[in-house]
Structure 1
Amino acid sequence: MRVVRTKDLLDNFNLTLVAGADGIHREIASNDIHRPGFEMTGFFEYYPKERIQIIGKTEMNYFLKLSEEEQQDRAERLCTDITPGLVVTNWMDIPDVLINAANEAGVPILKSPRTTNRVIVRITNFLGAKYAPTTAVHGVLVDIYGIGVLIMGQSGVGKSETALELVKRGHRLVADDSVEIRQEDYDTLIGNSPPLIEHLLEIRGLGILNIMTLFGAGAVKSYKRISYIVQLELWDDKKQYERLGIEEETMKIMDVNIPKATIPVRPGRNLAVIIEVAAMNFRLKRMGVNAAEDFSDQLATMIQKNNENNYS
């Protein structure tokens, strides 16, 4: 997990440093943020001082109505030795008492021209992505018709060769060999390539290929949400493979169950076309069109009619 500091907010958002410049390298230890409403009333028993503090119009207007002694008390108690920063929204004027307390404690005060809701959403998303749980899997991630397809399988089964054919067919490579995955939400997995091998594809017999150089910038993508998993395995004559597509497999990565298809590999099968069609079929299912279920329903209806005719 990488370390996020207050300076990262300055570098990534339209914020202005007003006070507490000595503390811009403080670590933001939590991906949660806090609006110190109760704290403005003097209730600091559960004050999450390790979080970024967002001060909007409500908090600021209440603060301005306090007496000078109360303002001094609130300002000093808000600015602790581990508070990573205060963000004041709506480009509001900041009282001198708060600026002085922040400078003394080394707590950065950042000023934003944006509304409170917009600041909360953007900072929450930023910190959520930085502190998201991560893992890495062996496979290839390709963007096929907008569907992030993670191709997995044992070494040498043909994952990279299949990805190369998919790129030639107009799809985009995200990662080869090692896919870094972060869970940004309870049901969202985002995959990307490690920086060292970004845009590179390894083909046995040829070596390392730079896909962006060979096929252009439109053939690669930096990251993609993983929606579908294709497991490649060598054909096993003793195994029964799915033929109708009614039963759906899933694979759990971290806390998320991802739909999965197992495709057997043997000479003569065009894996790139099969995976491309699998992605298209998955997209249709999400739109409510399921060919396997439609076929099963029609077959059941036909059998029922035949039985009725036999008994009549």
Structure 2
Amino acid sequence: GCYIIDLPNQDPRDLARSAKVAASSAAPNEVYKIATLLPTHKLDHDRAVMFHWKGGRLDNVALHLGSELSGPIEIPVEVCAAAGLGDFENGRPVAKSSVSVPGGTSGWVVVNIQRELPEGYYFVWLPKTAGIFWTLFSQQVTDTSRAYRSPGGKWTTMPQTYAFRLSPGDQPGIKLATETDQSQRLFAPENVIDGFARAIRGIPHSWRPDPQQPLPQWVELHFERPVKFNTVHISFQSKLMRADDFDIQVGQDGGWTTVLEVRDNFDRRRVLTFPTVTADRLRIVIRRAQPDMGICEIRVYDENDG
């Protein structure tokens, strides 16, 4: 399950790589315009998120924070002007405020800014605070960067974006790694065999069923000829964007046979085994899932072949 940067799956034993892929439906590109939320990072370092401000009065910034503490805490917040996107080292303070985080909760909290700011890049940073965590968006957001500060005082930039909202302003949108032709389907079934098991620089690399269609939904691999296999690897978009209940089915005698039922799944990646079958089709049937569920990768193996 370890990701080697920019190296796609090239395993010659993976039977899925040469299959044709189809699905019951696919999500339209439009569902990717708004960022969903992912897991959290503890404030075990100073942490910051940078954004582009259009200029004018910035009333407030909302941050998606959570607390493991029993009671509320007031955290100082500083807004700094940056020389350019990703430049946290040369930040110039332009506003100071604070935010109150209730104990034992997770959600949006508002930092009052109330400042006229010229157009440019700015970042909001929070100091190291035990018991507090900051949620990430699921994809890189347009014109943003994030960073943490080491004890030595150096900022280190990282991919993805800490969750924030500006007021006034639109909901943060998604930045694609390349200019995407609108005819390109971001959630095409074929993505499950494109070699990547996760989103890369904002591109989902996943199949996602149409959210307007009811479950069950399915994605299917069609092999050139009947093949033997007994192991299937499934990597979901994230742990929070997983299928809870799903079946593995194989095409035999003109119909479908369920070889494995998975219920109450809590993992992003599953390696599933079952008695060896010979079939020319494999189907993953999604019966219950988390919002925005996506499958990034399916691999198929005959673990008795060597």
Normalised to the residue count of structure 2, the TM-score between the two structures is 0.27
**Which of the pair has the greater relative contact order for Cα pairs under 8 Å at 6+ separation?**
2
Q: Which has the larger radius of gyration?
A: 1
Higher share in strand: 2
Q: TM-score, normalised on structure 1?
A: 0.27
Structure (1/2) with the larger helix percentage: 1
